[in-house]
Structure 1
Protein backbone atom coordinates (compact mmCIF):
# COMPACT_ATOMS: atom_id res chain seq x y z
CA UNK A 1 0.00 0.00 0.00
CA UNK A 2 1.39 3.42 -0.92
CA UNK A 3 1.30 6.41 1.40
CA UNK A 4 -1.44 8.02 -0.73
CA UNK A 5 -3.67 4.97 -0.22
CA UNK A 6 -3.41 5.08 3.55
CA UNK A 7 -5.98 7.02 5.57
CA UNK A 8 -4.74 10.45 6.61
CA UNK A 9 -4.93 11.10 10.36
CA UNK A 10 -4.27 14.50 11.95
CA UNK A 11 -3.15 14.24 15.57
CA UNK A 12 -2.81 16.94 18.21
CA UNK A 13 -2.88 17.14 22.01
CA UNK A 14 -2.78 19.57 24.93
CA UNK A 15 0.38 18.18 26.55
CA UNK A 16 2.81 19.33 23.85
CA UNK A 17 4.37 17.85 20.71
CA UNK A 18 7.08 16.19 22.82
CA UNK A 19 4.75 14.29 25.17
CA UNK A 20 4.88 10.57 25.81
CA UNK A 21 1.17 10.24 25.01
CA UNK A 22 1.35 11.64 21.50
CA UNK A 23 4.48 9.62 20.68
CA UNK A 24 2.75 6.46 21.88
CA UNK A 25 -0.39 7.22 19.89
CA UNK A 26 1.60 7.64 16.68
CA UNK A 27 3.39 4.35 17.32
CA UNK A 28 0.01 2.59 17.59
CA UNK A 29 -1.24 3.86 14.21
CA UNK A 30 1.68 4.60 11.89
CA UNK A 31 1.75 1.14 10.34
CA UNK A 32 -1.63 1.61 8.63
CA UNK A 33 -2.11 5.39 8.42
CA UNK A 34 -0.34 8.48 7.15
CA UNK A 35 0.00 10.73 10.18
CA UNK A 36 0.54 14.44 10.52
CA UNK A 37 1.09 15.83 14.01
CA UNK A 38 0.51 19.48 14.84
CA UNK A 39 0.62 20.06 18.59
CA UNK A 40 1.34 22.90 21.01
CA UNK A 41 4.98 23.68 21.70
CA UNK A 42 4.26 23.30 25.43
CA UNK A 43 1.44 22.14 27.71
CA UNK A 44 -1.98 23.70 27.10
CA UNK A 45 -4.20 21.73 29.47
CA UNK A 46 -7.57 23.28 30.26
CA UNK A 47 -7.76 25.33 27.07
CA UNK A 48 -10.93 23.58 25.87
CA UNK A 49 -12.00 25.18 22.53
CA UNK A 50 -9.99 28.39 23.01
CA UNK A 51 -8.16 29.82 20.00
CA UNK A 52 -5.77 32.73 19.51
CA UNK A 53 -7.84 35.72 18.45
CA UNK A 54 -5.40 38.41 19.65
CA UNK A 55 -1.93 37.01 18.93
CA UNK A 56 0.00 35.61 15.98
CA UNK A 57 1.07 31.98 15.67
CA UNK A 58 4.38 30.38 14.74
CA UNK A 59 5.01 26.90 13.38
CA UNK A 60 8.20 24.88 13.66
CA UNK A 61 8.95 21.54 12.05
CA UNK A 62 10.10 18.91 14.51
CA UNK A 63 11.80 15.54 14.09
CA UNK A 64 11.11 13.84 17.42
CA UNK A 65 8.55 11.21 16.38
CA UNK A 66 9.40 8.56 13.77
CA UNK A 67 6.84 7.52 11.19
CA UNK A 68 5.09 10.85 10.75
CA UNK A 69 5.43 14.56 10.02
CA UNK A 70 5.56 16.71 13.16
CA UNK A 71 4.93 20.42 13.64
CA UNK A 72 4.75 22.44 16.85
CA UNK A 73 2.57 25.53 17.15
CA UNK A 74 2.76 28.39 19.62
CA UNK A 75 -1.03 28.42 20.04
CA UNK A 76 -3.77 26.33 21.60
CA UNK A 77 -4.85 22.79 20.67
CA UNK A 78 -7.67 24.22 18.55
CA UNK A 79 -5.20 26.58 16.84
CA UNK A 80 -3.18 23.49 15.93
CA UNK A 81 -6.16 21.88 14.20
CA UNK A 82 -7.14 25.05 12.36
CA UNK A 83 -3.64 25.83 11.10
CA UNK A 84 -2.97 22.21 10.14
CA UNK A 85 -6.13 22.02 8.05
CA UNK A 86 -5.56 25.33 6.26
CA UNK A 87 -1.77 25.53 5.99
CA UNK A 88 0.04 22.26 6.62
CA UNK A 89 -2.23 19.85 4.76
CA UNK A 90 -2.49 22.06 1.67
CA UNK A 91 -6.16 21.37 1.12
CA UNK A 92 -6.05 17.65 1.90
CA UNK A 93 -8.89 16.57 4.17
CA UNK A 94 -8.01 14.11 6.96
CA UNK A 95 -10.01 10.93 7.28
CA UNK A 96 -9.78 11.32 11.05
CA UNK A 97 -8.69 13.85 13.69
CA UNK A 98 -7.44 12.59 17.07
CA UNK A 99 -6.61 14.36 20.32
CA UNK A 100 -4.31 12.60 22.78
CA UNK A 101 -3.29 10.40 24.30
CA UNK A 102 -3.86 12.81 27.19
CA UNK A 103 -2.07 12.39 30.51
CA UNK A 104 -5.08 12.70 32.81
CA UNK A 105 -8.79 11.99 33.06
CA UNK A 106 -11.18 13.79 30.71
CA UNK A 107 -14.44 12.15 31.76
CA UNK A 108 -17.52 13.78 33.31
CA UNK A 109 -17.42 17.61 33.43
CA UNK A 110 -13.71 17.54 32.55
CA UNK A 111 -15.03 17.16 29.01
CA UNK A 112 -15.85 20.88 28.99
CA UNK A 113 -12.41 22.02 30.16
CA UNK A 114 -10.28 19.63 28.16
CA UNK A 115 -7.99 20.79 25.38
CA UNK A 116 -7.93 17.17 24.20
CA UNK A 117 -11.69 17.30 23.76
CA UNK A 118 -11.32 20.74 22.18
CA UNK A 119 -9.39 19.04 19.37
CA UNK A 120 -12.14 16.48 18.82
CA UNK A 121 -14.84 19.16 18.95
CA UNK A 122 -13.00 21.32 16.42
CA UNK A 123 -12.67 18.38 14.06
CA UNK A 124 -16.34 17.57 14.60
CA UNK A 125 -17.31 21.16 13.74
CA UNK A 126 -15.35 20.72 10.50
CA UNK A 127 -17.45 17.58 9.82
CA UNK A 128 -14.42 15.31 10.14
CA UNK A 129 -14.73 12.15 12.31
CA UNK A 130 -12.87 12.89 15.53
CA UNK A 131 -11.80 11.07 18.71
CA UNK A 132 -10.26 12.19 22.00
CA UNK A 133 -8.16 9.61 23.89
CA UNK A 134 -7.28 10.18 27.54
CA UNK A 135 -5.61 8.05 30.20
CA UNK A 136 -6.45 8.52 33.89
CA UNK A 137 -2.80 8.13 34.89
CA UNK A 138 -1.35 11.64 35.34
CA UNK A 139 2.22 10.36 35.20
CA UNK A 140 3.65 11.91 32.04
CA UNK A 141 6.05 8.95 31.67
CA UNK A 142 3.45 6.23 32.28
CA UNK A 143 3.68 3.08 30.18
CA UNK A 144 0.72 3.24 27.80
CA UNK A 145 1.47 0.13 25.75
CA UNK A 146 -1.56 -1.76 27.14
CA UNK A 147 -3.87 0.79 25.48
CA UNK A 148 -2.74 -0.29 22.02
CA UNK A 149 -5.38 -2.85 21.03
CA UNK A 150 -8.27 -0.65 22.19
CA UNK A 151 -6.94 2.46 20.44
CA UNK A 152 -6.36 0.61 17.19
CA UNK A 153 -9.77 -1.07 17.25
CA UNK A 154 -11.66 2.16 17.96
CA UNK A 155 -9.72 4.06 15.29
CA UNK A 156 -10.29 1.37 12.67
CA UNK A 157 -14.02 1.21 13.46
CA UNK A 158 -14.38 4.97 13.05
CA UNK A 159 -12.32 4.97 9.84
CA UNK A 160 -14.57 2.24 8.45
CA UNK A 161 -17.96 3.39 9.70
CA UNK A 162 -17.53 7.11 10.29
CA UNK A 163 -19.49 9.03 12.91
CA UNK A 164 -22.81 10.89 12.70
CA UNK A 165 -22.70 14.57 11.83
CA UNK A 166 -22.03 16.62 14.95
CA UNK A 167 -20.81 13.69 17.08
CA UNK A 168 -17.29 12.90 18.29
CA UNK A 169 -16.02 10.26 20.71
CA UNK A 170 -14.57 10.87 24.17
CA UNK A 171 -12.55 7.79 25.15
CA UNK A 172 -11.03 7.42 28.62
CA UNK A 173 -8.82 4.64 29.97
CA UNK A 174 -8.81 3.77 33.70
CA UNK A 175 -5.53 3.59 35.61
CA UNK A 176 -5.28 -0.20 35.66
CA UNK A 177 -2.94 -2.64 33.96
CA UNK A 178 -5.70 -4.86 32.56
CA UNK A 179 -9.06 -3.55 31.38
CA UNK A 180 -12.31 -5.39 32.04
CA UNK A 181 -13.64 -4.36 28.67
CA UNK A 182 -15.27 -1.40 26.97
CA UNK A 183 -18.41 0.46 28.05
CA UNK A 184 -20.44 2.80 25.85
CA UNK A 185 -21.81 5.27 28.36
CA UNK A 186 -23.09 8.75 29.02
CA UNK A 187 -21.17 11.60 30.63
CA UNK A 188 -21.44 11.57 34.42
CA UNK A 189 -22.39 14.55 36.55
CA UNK A 190 -19.66 15.84 38.84
CA UNK A 191 -18.23 19.05 40.28
CA UNK A 192 -14.85 20.54 41.04
CA UNK A 193 -14.73 21.82 44.62
CA UNK A 194 -12.20 23.75 46.74
CA UNK A 195 -10.74 25.09 43.53
CA UNK A 196 -8.78 28.13 44.75
CA UNK A 197 -5.79 28.08 47.08
CA UNK A 198 -4.59 31.44 48.43
CA UNK A 199 -0.91 32.06 49.17
CA UNK A 200 1.01 35.06 50.51
CA UNK A 201 3.99 36.33 48.52
CA UNK A 202 7.10 37.51 50.43
CA UNK A 203 6.64 40.95 48.85
CA UNK A 204 3.35 41.32 50.68
CA UNK A 205 0.61 40.50 48.20
CA UNK A 206 -1.65 37.48 47.84
CA UNK A 207 -1.64 35.14 44.84
CA UNK A 208 -3.79 32.17 43.90
CA UNK A 209 -3.49 28.64 42.56
CA UNK A 210 -6.35 26.96 40.69
CA UNK A 211 -6.44 23.40 42.02
CA UNK A 212 -9.47 21.60 43.46
CA UNK A 213 -10.70 18.04 43.75
CA UNK A 214 -13.34 16.17 41.78
CA UNK A 215 -16.64 15.22 43.43
CA UNK A 216 -18.87 12.56 41.89
CA UNK A 217 -22.39 14.03 42.11
CA UNK A 218 -24.16 10.77 41.28
CA UNK A 219 -22.16 8.08 43.09
CA UNK A 220 -24.89 5.45 42.72
CA UNK A 221 -25.20 5.71 38.95
CA UNK A 222 -23.91 2.72 36.98
CA UNK A 223 -24.43 3.95 33.41
CA UNK A 224 -21.91 6.78 33.13
CA UNK A 225 -18.22 7.25 32.34
CA UNK A 226 -17.15 7.69 35.95
CA UNK A 227 -18.65 4.34 36.97
CA UNK A 228 -16.96 2.66 34.01
CA UNK A 229 -13.54 4.06 34.89
CA UNK A 230 -13.87 3.37 38.60
CA UNK A 231 -14.73 -0.24 37.78
CA UNK A 232 -11.88 -0.90 35.36
CA UNK A 233 -13.66 -0.37 32.03
CA UNK A 234 -12.64 1.79 29.08
CA UNK A 235 -15.35 4.43 28.71
CA UNK A 236 -16.55 5.62 25.30
CA UNK A 237 -18.93 8.56 25.35
CA UNK A 238 -20.49 9.84 22.10
CA UNK A 239 -20.43 13.61 22.49
CA UNK A 240 -22.62 16.06 20.59
CA UNK A 241 -21.62 19.49 19.34
CA UNK A 242 -25.27 20.59 19.26
CA UNK A 243 -25.98 21.53 22.89
CA UNK A 244 -29.64 22.39 22.29
CA UNK A 245 -32.04 21.01 24.91
CA UNK A 246 -34.76 19.79 22.54
CA UNK A 247 -37.15 18.74 25.29
CA UNK A 248 -37.13 22.22 26.80
CA UNK A 249 -37.14 23.80 23.35
CA UNK A 250 -40.49 22.18 22.61
CA UNK A 251 -41.90 23.29 25.97
CA UNK A 252 -40.75 26.86 25.38
CA UNK A 253 -42.53 27.02 22.04
CA UNK A 254 -45.52 28.28 24.02
CA UNK A 255 -43.58 31.51 24.60
CA UNK A 256 -44.06 32.31 20.92
CA UNK A 257 -47.83 32.34 21.26
Structure 2
Protein backbone atom coordinates (compact mmCIF):
# COMPACT_ATOMS: atom_id res chain seq x y z
CA UNK A 1 0.00 0.00 0.00
CA UNK A 2 1.45 3.42 -0.95
CA UNK A 3 1.91 6.28 1.54
CA UNK A 4 -1.17 8.44 2.05
CA UNK A 5 0.61 11.41 0.48
CA UNK A 6 1.35 9.73 -2.83
CA UNK A 7 0.84 11.01 -6.38
CA UNK A 8 -0.83 8.68 -8.86
CA UNK A 9 0.81 8.82 -12.30
CA UNK A 10 -1.23 7.32 -15.15
CA UNK A 11 0.95 7.20 -18.27
CA UNK A 12 1.48 4.39 -20.78
CA UNK A 13 4.68 5.86 -22.25
CA UNK A 14 7.37 4.31 -20.06
CA UNK A 15 10.05 6.84 -21.00
CA UNK A 16 7.82 9.77 -20.02
CA UNK A 17 6.71 7.99 -16.85
CA UNK A 18 10.31 7.39 -15.79
CA UNK A 19 11.25 11.04 -16.24
CA UNK A 20 8.15 12.33 -14.45
CA UNK A 21 8.60 9.84 -11.60
CA UNK A 22 12.24 10.85 -11.22
CA UNK A 23 11.46 14.56 -11.00
CA UNK A 24 8.52 14.11 -8.64
CA UNK A 25 10.54 11.80 -6.40
CA UNK A 26 13.39 14.31 -6.34
CA UNK A 27 10.86 16.95 -5.28
CA UNK A 28 9.93 14.80 -2.29
CA UNK A 29 6.77 13.07 -3.51
CA UNK A 30 5.93 9.37 -3.44
CA UNK A 31 4.76 8.19 -6.86
CA UNK A 32 2.61 5.21 -7.85
CA UNK A 33 2.74 4.61 -11.62
CA UNK A 34 0.14 2.76 -13.69
CA UNK A 35 0.05 2.30 -17.46
CA UNK A 36 -3.66 1.51 -17.71
CA UNK A 37 -6.60 3.64 -16.68
CA UNK A 38 -8.62 0.84 -15.11
CA UNK A 39 -5.70 -0.27 -12.96
CA UNK A 40 -5.22 3.32 -11.82
CA UNK A 41 -8.90 3.63 -10.89
CA UNK A 42 -8.81 0.37 -8.95
CA UNK A 43 -5.77 1.65 -7.09
CA UNK A 44 -7.36 5.04 -6.35
CA UNK A 45 -10.48 3.38 -4.96
CA UNK A 46 -8.38 1.44 -2.46
CA UNK A 47 -6.08 4.28 -1.45
CA UNK A 48 -7.01 7.82 -2.49
CA UNK A 49 -4.05 9.78 -3.90
CA UNK A 50 -3.43 13.42 -3.04
CA UNK A 51 -3.10 14.24 -6.76
CA UNK A 52 -3.27 12.47 -10.12
CA UNK A 53 -1.13 13.15 -13.20
CA UNK A 54 -3.22 11.65 -16.00
CA UNK A 55 -2.37 10.98 -19.64
CA UNK A 56 -5.44 11.19 -21.87
CA UNK A 57 -4.29 8.63 -24.46
CA UNK A 58 -4.38 5.34 -22.58
CA UNK A 59 -4.50 1.83 -24.09
CA UNK A 60 -7.67 0.67 -22.33
CA UNK A 61 -9.86 3.53 -21.10
CA UNK A 62 -10.04 7.11 -22.44
CA UNK A 63 -8.33 9.46 -20.02
CA UNK A 64 -11.40 11.69 -20.03
CA UNK A 65 -13.46 8.87 -18.51
CA UNK A 66 -10.75 8.19 -15.94
CA UNK A 67 -10.87 11.86 -14.94
CA UNK A 68 -14.64 11.73 -14.49
CA UNK A 69 -14.41 8.60 -12.34
CA UNK A 70 -11.64 10.10 -10.21
CA UNK A 71 -13.77 13.17 -9.54
CA UNK A 72 -16.62 10.91 -8.44
CA UNK A 73 -14.30 9.35 -5.88
CA UNK A 74 -13.66 12.71 -4.23
CA UNK A 75 -12.04 16.08 -4.67
CA UNK A 76 -8.78 14.74 -6.10
CA UNK A 77 -6.73 17.29 -8.08
CA UNK A 78 -6.10 16.05 -11.63
CA UNK A 79 -3.42 17.33 -14.00
CA UNK A 80 -3.95 16.10 -17.55
CA UNK A 81 -1.04 15.19 -19.83
CA UNK A 82 -1.82 15.15 -23.53
CA UNK A 83 -0.54 15.74 -27.04
CA UNK A 84 -3.87 17.42 -27.86
CA UNK A 85 -2.96 21.08 -27.85
CA UNK A 86 -6.07 22.78 -29.24
CA UNK A 87 -7.99 25.23 -27.08
CA UNK A 88 -11.13 23.15 -27.57
CA UNK A 89 -9.41 20.07 -26.16
CA UNK A 90 -8.19 22.03 -23.14
CA UNK A 91 -11.69 23.34 -22.47
CA UNK A 92 -13.09 19.81 -22.70
CA UNK A 93 -10.54 18.71 -20.12
CA UNK A 94 -11.42 21.51 -17.74
CA UNK A 95 -15.14 20.90 -18.22
CA UNK A 96 -14.56 17.32 -17.01
CA UNK A 97 -13.11 18.64 -13.79
CA UNK A 98 -9.39 18.72 -14.57
CA UNK A 99 -7.47 21.18 -12.42
CA UNK A 100 -4.67 21.73 -14.92
CA UNK A 101 -3.65 20.73 -18.42
CA UNK A 102 -0.09 20.16 -19.67
CA UNK A 103 0.63 19.66 -23.37
CA UNK A 104 3.32 17.25 -24.60
CA UNK A 105 6.20 17.74 -25.05
CA UNK A 106 6.56 19.46 -21.69
CA UNK A 107 9.18 20.42 -19.16
CA UNK A 108 9.30 18.01 -16.22
CA UNK A 109 10.34 20.92 -14.00
CA UNK A 110 7.26 22.86 -15.07
CA UNK A 111 5.09 19.83 -14.31
CA UNK A 112 6.54 19.62 -10.80
CA UNK A 113 5.79 23.33 -10.37
CA UNK A 114 2.20 22.79 -11.47
CA UNK A 115 1.87 19.86 -9.06
CA UNK A 116 3.04 22.06 -6.20
CA UNK A 117 0.64 24.83 -7.20
CA UNK A 118 -2.30 22.42 -7.48
CA UNK A 119 -1.61 20.93 -4.05
CA UNK A 120 -1.20 24.36 -2.48
CA UNK A 121 -4.41 25.52 -4.13
CA UNK A 122 -6.26 22.53 -2.70
CA UNK A 123 -4.95 23.08 0.82
CA UNK A 124 -5.37 26.83 1.21
CA UNK A 125 -8.18 29.35 1.07
CA UNK A 126 -7.20 32.13 -1.37
CA UNK A 127 -5.74 35.29 0.11
CA UNK A 128 -8.00 38.34 0.26
CA UNK A 129 -11.10 36.20 0.76
CA UNK A 130 -13.20 35.71 3.86
CA UNK A 131 -12.61 32.76 6.17
CA UNK A 132 -16.10 32.93 7.66
CA UNK A 133 -19.39 31.72 6.24
CA UNK A 134 -21.00 33.76 3.47
CA UNK A 135 -24.69 33.66 2.63
CA UNK A 136 -26.62 35.33 -0.16
CA UNK A 137 -30.19 35.98 -1.26
CA UNK A 138 -31.83 35.07 2.03
CA UNK A 139 -29.50 32.11 2.64
CA UNK A 140 -30.37 30.62 -0.74
CA UNK A 141 -26.63 30.24 -1.33
CA UNK A 142 -24.20 29.56 1.52
CA UNK A 143 -20.41 29.22 1.28
CA UNK A 144 -18.39 27.78 4.16
CA UNK A 145 -14.63 28.19 3.53
CA UNK A 146 -13.70 26.23 6.65
CA UNK A 147 -15.09 22.97 5.30
CA UNK A 148 -15.20 23.84 1.57
CA UNK A 149 -18.96 23.43 1.56
CA UNK A 150 -21.59 25.00 -0.67
CA UNK A 151 -25.28 24.85 0.21
CA UNK A 152 -27.76 25.79 -2.51
CA UNK A 153 -31.43 26.04 -1.49
CA UNK A 154 -30.71 23.82 1.50
CA UNK A 155 -28.95 21.14 -0.53
CA UNK A 156 -25.17 20.49 -0.45
CA UNK A 157 -23.44 21.08 -3.79
CA UNK A 158 -20.21 19.29 -4.65
CA UNK A 159 -17.60 21.64 -6.11
CA UNK A 160 -13.98 20.80 -6.74
CA UNK A 161 -11.41 22.72 -4.69
CA UNK A 162 -10.64 24.88 -7.71
CA UNK A 163 -14.32 25.59 -8.36
CA UNK A 164 -14.95 26.41 -4.71
CA UNK A 165 -12.05 28.82 -4.54
CA UNK A 166 -13.12 30.52 -7.73
CA UNK A 167 -16.66 30.97 -6.44
CA UNK A 168 -15.35 32.16 -3.07
CA UNK A 169 -13.02 34.62 -4.78
CA UNK A 170 -15.75 36.39 -6.74
CA UNK A 171 -18.41 36.06 -4.02
CA UNK A 172 -16.17 37.73 -1.45
CA UNK A 173 -16.52 41.01 -3.35
CA UNK A 174 -20.02 41.22 -4.88
CA UNK A 175 -20.28 43.69 -7.74
CA UNK A 176 -16.58 43.67 -8.58
CA UNK A 177 -15.60 42.61 -12.09
CA UNK A 178 -12.85 39.99 -12.11
CA UNK A 179 -10.88 39.53 -15.31
CA UNK A 180 -10.03 36.03 -16.50
CA UNK A 181 -6.34 36.83 -16.08
CA UNK A 182 -6.89 37.88 -12.47
CA UNK A 183 -8.82 34.72 -11.65
CA UNK A 184 -6.19 32.62 -13.39
CA UNK A 185 -3.45 34.14 -11.26
CA UNK A 186 -5.31 34.45 -7.95
CA UNK A 187 -7.13 31.11 -8.00
CA UNK A 188 -4.98 28.82 -10.13
CA UNK A 189 -1.75 30.39 -8.94
CA UNK A 190 -0.10 31.28 -12.25
CA UNK A 191 -0.63 32.94 -15.59
CA UNK A 192 -0.10 31.27 -18.94
CA UNK A 193 -0.95 32.55 -22.38
CA UNK A 194 -3.91 30.75 -23.89
CA UNK A 195 -5.11 29.29 -20.60
CA UNK A 196 -7.45 32.11 -19.58
CA UNK A 197 -10.30 30.31 -21.34
CA UNK A 198 -10.07 27.55 -18.74
CA UNK A 199 -11.69 30.07 -16.39
CA UNK A 200 -14.76 29.96 -18.64
CA UNK A 201 -14.91 26.18 -18.30
CA UNK A 202 -14.70 26.35 -14.50
CA UNK A 203 -17.37 29.07 -14.34
CA UNK A 204 -19.61 26.98 -16.59
CA UNK A 205 -19.23 24.05 -14.19
CA UNK A 206 -20.01 26.24 -11.17
CA UNK A 207 -23.10 27.70 -12.82
CA UNK A 208 -24.37 24.26 -13.72
CA UNK A 209 -23.88 22.93 -10.21
CA UNK A 210 -25.59 25.84 -8.45
CA UNK A 211 -28.34 26.07 -11.06
CA UNK A 212 -27.36 29.52 -12.32
CA UNK A 213 -28.38 30.13 -15.94
CA UNK A 214 -25.83 31.91 -18.10
CA UNK A 215 -28.50 33.80 -20.09
CA UNK A 216 -30.30 35.14 -17.02
CA UNK A 217 -27.92 34.61 -14.09
CA UNK A 218 -28.81 35.32 -10.49
CA UNK A 219 -25.27 35.02 -9.19
CA UNK A 220 -22.51 34.94 -11.80
CA UNK A 221 -22.76 37.49 -14.60
CA UNK A 222 -20.51 37.48 -17.66
CA UNK A 223 -18.95 40.86 -18.44
CA UNK A 224 -18.29 40.83 -22.17
CA UNK A 225 -14.63 41.08 -23.09
CA UNK A 226 -13.48 41.22 -19.48
CA UNK A 227 -14.55 38.42 -17.15
CA UNK A 228 -17.15 37.83 -14.45
CA UNK A 229 -19.04 39.60 -11.68
CA UNK A 230 -20.86 38.11 -8.69
CA UNK A 231 -24.31 39.66 -8.24
CA UNK A 232 -25.63 37.75 -5.25
CA UNK A 233 -27.07 39.93 -2.47
CA UNK A 234 -25.05 39.35 0.68
CA UNK A 235 -27.09 38.63 3.80
CA UNK A 236 -26.46 40.89 6.77
Q: What is the TM-score normalised by the length of structure 1?
A: 0.39
The structure richer in helix per residue is 2
Greater RCO, 1 or 2 (C-alpha within 8 Å, sep 6+): 1
Q: What is the TM-score normalised by the length of structure 2?
A: 0.41
The structure richer in strand per residue is 1
